[in-house]
Amino acid sequence: MKILFIGGTGLISTAVSQLAIQKGLELTILNRGQRNDELPKKVERVRCDIYDEKAVQKFLVNRHFDAVVDWIAFTTDHVQRDYRLFKGYTNQYVFISSASAYQKPIPKLPITEKEVPLNNPFWTYSQNKQKCEEYLLGLNDPSFPVTIIRPSHTYNDHSIVSQLNSWPHPYTLIHRMKQNKPVIMPEQGKSRWTLTYNQDFAFAFLDIFGNPKTYGEFYHLTSDKSYSWLELYQMLKEAVGSKSELIFMPTEKIAEVFPDYSGSLLGDMKDSAIFDNSKIKAVAPNYVSKTEYRDVVKNAVLWYENNPEFQTIDEDFYKRYDLLIEANKK
């Protein structure tokens, strides 16, 4: 089976790439070649910018794929471009959406694809994913079968899971906890959050390739593991060896100081998110949900300790964090 990935070097896609090669798939990855170090040697690497349509068209001459997965499509412009480019060159197009696009507040738990609609008024990212889904499903083109996958919070061996931490500099929170400084917890930390290990995700994901049952369908693909934010904080605290005090605050108050994080805070992590994976399990016999975050977090902290080049701190984030805690005392 011949598969084409657009992007393919992200947190989820790297794990899928590695498993695809182990399973004997012929995998081609098309990207700008900036982060290909972790790709298996058997992957065909094509250096090309997906935004350069003429270059992609040239690459596609005399090629055909059983499935094309675009890991970096975020807006309707992106999926419209993919339709122009890949129609006639693939038997299946896989769009990576997001479980964050479900209606917020979530009306019912566990979340099922049938009972919970897409409608997130808080996060533009999620709204754009919804628009992409609507466009693709609206094509109704038998020559361009579409499968939509909605990942939730997926992590790898280096992930530091928290509601509020610097996205570009994850070590920021570890450093803070090593200094035993107070840590902010939105609300009371009692809501439950589903975490999916990227290597577990990969098994079910491969089952959708060339699977006619998935054509024209949409699925969330998450684990069956959920934790309260207090549990996740305790796991990280133990891994760091910290004595940091928790400071509880309303999510809305935090979002005022961190407007750049408000989408995820208000539109994704505020409420419990627990998923019923029955739909994906029905078409993915190799679905796996075995990894616990508590078995990964210690190694994640250790990895940062052993790799000083990644011990970077987001000074602006740190400053706002301290100011928020000081303001909360007044």
pLDDT digit string (tens) for 24-39?
999 999 998 776 566 8
Q: 197: how many CB neighbours lie within 10 A of its CB?
A: 23
Same domain, 134 and 167: no
Domain membership of residue 283 (yes or no) is: no
Residue 173 and residue 45 share a domain: no
The answer on 322 and 185 residing in a single domain is yes
Q: Check residue 36 and give its pLDDT.
A: 59
Q: What percent of the chain has pLDDT over 90?
A: 95
* 61 and 164 part of one domain: no
Sign of CA dihedral 151, 267, 130, 51: negative
Q: Look up the CATH number of the domain holding residue 307.
A: 3.90.25.10
| Structural domain harbouring 263 | 160-192+227-272+291-329
| Co-location of 148 and 19 in the same domain | yes
Q: How many CB atoms lie within 10 A of CB 95?
A: 24
Query: For residue 252, how many other CB atoms are within 10 A of its CB?
Result: 12
Shared domain for 128 and 10, answered yes or no, is yes
- Regarding predicted confidence, which is higher, 166 or 328? 166
Inter-CA distances, 236 with 114, 239, 261, 322, Å: 35, 5, 21, 20
Judgement on whether residues 76 and 166 belong to the same structural domain of the protein = no
| Count of structural domains within the chain | 2
Same domain membership, residue 150 and residue 23: yes
* One domain, residues 171 and 132: no
CA distance 274 to 191: 10
* Gap between the Cα atoms of 244 and 257, Å rounded: 21
Asked if the model's pLDDT at residue 248 lies above 70, the reply is: yes
Q: What confidence score (pLDDT) does residue 41 get?
A: 85
- Asked if pLDDT for residue 139 goes beyond 80, the answer is yes
- Percent of the chain past pLDDT 70, that is, above it, reads 98
The answer to whether residue 206 is domain-embedded is: yes
Residue at 280 is within a domain: no
> What pLDDT is recorded for position 40?
79
pLDDT at 89: 98
pTM of the model: 0.95
Name the DSSP class of 66.
S
Chain centroid to Cα 132, Å, comes to 16
CB neighbours of 309 closer than 8 A, spacing ≥ 6?
A: none
pLDDT at 37: 67
CA distances from 122 to 57, 128, 265, 273 (A): 37, 12, 9, 16
Same domain? 29 vs 55: yes
Q: Count the neighbouring beta carbons within 10 Å of the beta carbon of residue 309.
A: 5
Q: What are the tens digits of pLDDT across the range 61-95?
A: 999 999 999 999 999 999 999 999 999 999 999 99
Residue 236 falls inside a structural domain:
yes
**Which residue, 179, 203, 221, sits at the end of a domain?**
221
Paired tokens of 70: 């675009």
* Res 328: pLDDT: 86
pLDDT tens readout for residues 97-137: 999 999 999 999 999 999 999 999 999 999 999 999 999 99
CA-nearest of 59, 81, 54, 68 to 3 is: 68
Q: List pLDDT tens digits, range 249-293.
A: 999 999 999 999 999 999 999 999 999 999 999 999 999 999 999
Q: What is the mean pLDDT of the chain?
A: 96
**pLDDT reported for residue 105:** 93
Q: Which residue has the tokens 């809305």?
A: 252
Segment 203-216 shows an average pLDDT of 98
Q: Is the dihedral of CA 79, 221, 216, 211 positive or negative?
A: positive
* Residues 45 and 183 reside in one and the same domain: no
Same domain for 134 and 22?
A: yes
pLDDT score, position 35:
66
Q: Cα separation of 268 and 190, whole Å? A: 15
Does residue 47 belong to any structural domain of this protein? Answer: yes
